[in-house]
Amino acid sequence: MSDTTRTTRGRGALRRLARAGAALAVLVGALAGATATSGAAQAATQGPCDIYRAGGTPCVAAHSTTRALYGGYAGPLYQVRRASDQALRDIGVLSTGGYADAAAQDAFCAHTTCVITVIYDQSERHNHLTQAPGGGAAPGPDNLADATLAPTTLNGHRAYGVYVAPGTGYRNNHTSGVATGDQPEGMYAILDGTHYNGGCCFDYGNAETSSNDTGNGHMEAIYFGNIKVWGYGSGPGPWVMADLENGLFSGADTRYNANDPTVNHRYLTAMVKGAPNQWAIRAGDAQSGGLSTFYSGPRPNAAGYDPMHKEGAIILGIGGDNSKSARGTFYEGVMTAGYPSEATENAVQANIVAAGYANSPAAASGALRGAGSGKCLDVPGASGTPGLQTQINGCSGGASQTWTRTADGRLTVDVSGTTLCLDAYGGATADGTKVVTWPCNGGANQQWQFNADGSVTGVQSGRCLDVAGAGTADATPVQLWSCWGGDNQRWALG
């Protein structure tokens, strides 16, 4: 078949899909309107996959650790494994079609750490995500995500996302119903737009079934980050792009699309979809407003991408060949059979906004756990002696690891009958300044700011609470250091 014939037929198929979408516009519009009325009500009545089904492009995978993605779903969202005894626990929803039962995880994982072992597929296809095996770019198995490092809320209900540090990855190489070859598909993911890097590759979507790079056009996945080795968009990044294998693409050109802007919403809706010689990137703020189209048009102008050669595996947090140097945070995402209409996607975005994603309020008291190590900020020897440099240690739930965040920004700890404050030693502000415990005196070197990206900065210095050398061993000291976005500078209190 000639390129002209294939293009004509592909566009004809798209026109037929568009007519089908128009016929469903009233229904989809009604669904979108319903989502705007009540976030609490929508969780019990419908989800994104109900909207996709109504639009004629049903979900073939539906992954979320925060909520049900079908109004009728009452099964497990994900599974955790705790370190203390290796026991497993499925975490489900509070009610049918509702939000995650985060309290069940909190109770199960109390006084120890937990990792996410399975992210269940809520569709009838059972395309669950589990620990990624090794691949052509990196050996495996990959790391599993700490279950507590991405706290969030949905309409006030506490939940946890999937915090992907470099080396972490999930995969399913044996799926059902996922697009292969040049078949049409759509996908979206809700991500933390402030958590990214220039590593390869933080993806969610369609990949190779062998965990190896098998050539151009063998992938179709959402990418988020600011790597510029391949294609890129405008501004400094990060960008929503498509990983189509052997290239990250922002449009038809293999290098640059000025219409693909830098986006860093705290909660980001990212969408990619593809059909015969047609694909698109759309994105928006998952907390408010609609979607913008950053690209919609023919496949990239390089060999191997028209037609596509998709294989139908599903990946999260890694590249198709298990490239795993990237980081990011995932809350929910789906993959569809068929090329969704914009009307359907707009209704899905309205549903996402109505879900009410918001930052999790910092707990008043609890362990301060490091993202890079999974270990807790600790007072050596549980001693009340002033001036001891704090460290990380395995989380025990003891008093020496229980920190209270006060209204005036102090972090206090009660040890040996003494209340002490977390303190930048001597009021110093230079890189490498020891972070110690000291009698509370109200100084600015004892005030700490919790930031949306998980960092904790000293009010006086502006520098980050940092695990020295990005170490992960017990007794690694904690210090001030210039903020650079590393996982050794990200913390979760609670």
Segments making up each domain of the chain, as ranges: 3-359, 365-493
Name which of 8-12, 285-289, 348-352 the model is least confident about: 8-12
Residue tagged active-site, from 208, 213, 321, 423? 321
Q: Computed over its alpha carbons, how large is the radius of gyration of the chain?
A: 23
Fold equal for 3-359 and 365-493: no
Residue 238, preceding peptide bond in cis (omega within 30° of 0): yes
Tokens 């510029």 belong to: 228
Residues 6+ apart with CB under 8 A from 297: 251, 252, 278, 279, 280
Name which of 246-255, 392-401, 440-449 the model is least confident about: 440-449
* Tens-digit pLDDT profile for residues 163-215: 999 999 999 999 999 999 999 999 999 999 999 999 999 999 999 999 999 99
245 is catalytic: yes
- Out of 1.10.10.10, 2.102.10.10, 3.30.420.10, 2.80.10.50, which CATH number does the structure's domain 365-493 have? 2.80.10.50
CATH number for the region 3-359 comes to: 2.60.120.200
pTM: 0.78
487 is catalytic: no
Residue tagged active-site, from 101, 245, 311, 378? 245
User: CA 98 from chain center: how many Å?
Assistant: 20
Q: Taking residues 422-436, what's their average pLDDT?
A: 96
